[in-house]
Amino acid sequence: MYSNIQNQLADETIPFSSLMVVPMIESDSLKGFCIVSHSIPYYFTFDMFKLFQSLIHHSTLAITNSMLREELERMVITDQLTQLFAKGFLNDEIKQSMEKDEEGTFILLDIDNFKKVNDTFGHQTGDEILVQVANIIQQNIRSSDIGARWGGEELAIYLPGASLKTGSQVAHRLVEAVYKNTKPKITVSCGVSYWNKKRKDQVESLFNRADVGLYHAKERGKNQVVIKEDKSPF
Reply yes or no: is the peptide bond before residue 160 cis, omega within 30 of 0. no
Asked whether the predicted pLDDT for residue 165 surpasses 50, the reply is yes
Q: Average pLDDT for residues 99-127, to the nearest whole number?
A: 96
Q: Residue 234 falls within a domain, yes or no?
A: no
Question: Can you give the pLDDT at residue 30?
Answer: 85
Q: Residue 105 falls within a domain, yes or no?
A: yes
Q: 38 in helix, strand or coil? A: strand
What are the start-end ranges of the H helices in the chain?
2-10, 46-76, 87-100, 114-121, 123-139, 164-181, 203-219
Percent of the chain residues topping a pLDDT of 90: 65
214 and 105 fall within a common domain: yes
Query: Catalytic residues, which ones?
Result: 153
pTM value is 0.71
Asked whether the predicted pLDDT for residue 231 surpasses 70, the reply is no
120 and 211 fall within a common domain: yes
124 and 216 fall within a common domain: yes
Q: Residue 204 falls within a domain, yes or no?
A: yes
Please write the tens of the pLDDT for every residue from 21-69.
Answer: 999 888 788 888 899 999 888 898 999 989 988 898 888 888 877 777 7
Instruction: Give CA separation, 69 vs 24, 29, 48, 73, 144, in Å.
Output: 19, 18, 32, 6, 24
32 and 51 fall within a common domain: yes
Asked whether the predicted pLDDT for residue 222 surpasses 60, the reply is yes
Asked whether the predicted pLDDT for residue 81 surpasses 60, the reply is yes
CATH number at residue 66: 3.30.450.40
Q: Residue 232 falls within a domain, yes or no?
A: no
Question: Can you give the pLDDT at residue 58?
Answer: 84
143 and 103 fall within a common domain: yes
Domain boundary (32, 49, 76) is at 76
The rounded distance, in Å, linking the Cα atoms of 93 and 95 is: 5
64 and 125 fall within a common domain: no
The rounded distance, in Å, linking the Cα atoms of 124 and 121 is: 8
Domain boundary (53, 76, 99) is at 76
Domain boundary (51, 76, 101) is at 76
136 and 27 fall within a common domain: no
118 and 206 fall within a common domain: yes
100 and 42 fall within a common domain: no
Question: Can you give the pLDDT at residue 65?
Answer: 76
Asked whether the predicted pLDDT for residue 158 surpasses 70, the reply is yes
115 and 220 fall within a common domain: yes
The rounded distance, in Å, linking the Cα atoms of 113 and 110 is: 9
Higher per-residue pLDDT: 170 or 19: 170
48 and 136 fall within a common domain: no
Shortest CA distance to 188 belongs to which of 126, 133, 127, 132? 133
Of the pLDDT bands very low, low, confident and very high (cuts 50, 70, 90), residue 194 is very high
Q: Average pLDDT for residues 10-24, to the nearest whole number?
A: 78
72 and 91 fall within a common domain: no
Give per-residue burial for 148-157: e unless 16+ CB within 10 Å, then b: bbbeebbbbb
Question: Can you give the pLDDT at residue 233?
Answer: 40
Q: Tell me the residue range of the domain where 56 lies.
A: 2-76
Question: Can you give the pLDDT at residue 133?
Answer: 98
Q: Residue 103 falls within a domain, yes or no?
A: yes
Q: Residue 233 falls within a domain, yes or no?
A: no
Asked whether the predicted pLDDT for residue 234 surpasses 50, the reply is no
Q: Residue 25 falls within a domain, yes or no?
A: yes
CATH number at residue 94: 3.30.70.270
* Mean pLDDT for all residues in the chain: 89
Of the pLDDT bands very low, low, confident and very high (cuts 50, 70, 90), residue 232 is very low
Question: Can you give the pLDDT at residue 3?
Answer: 45
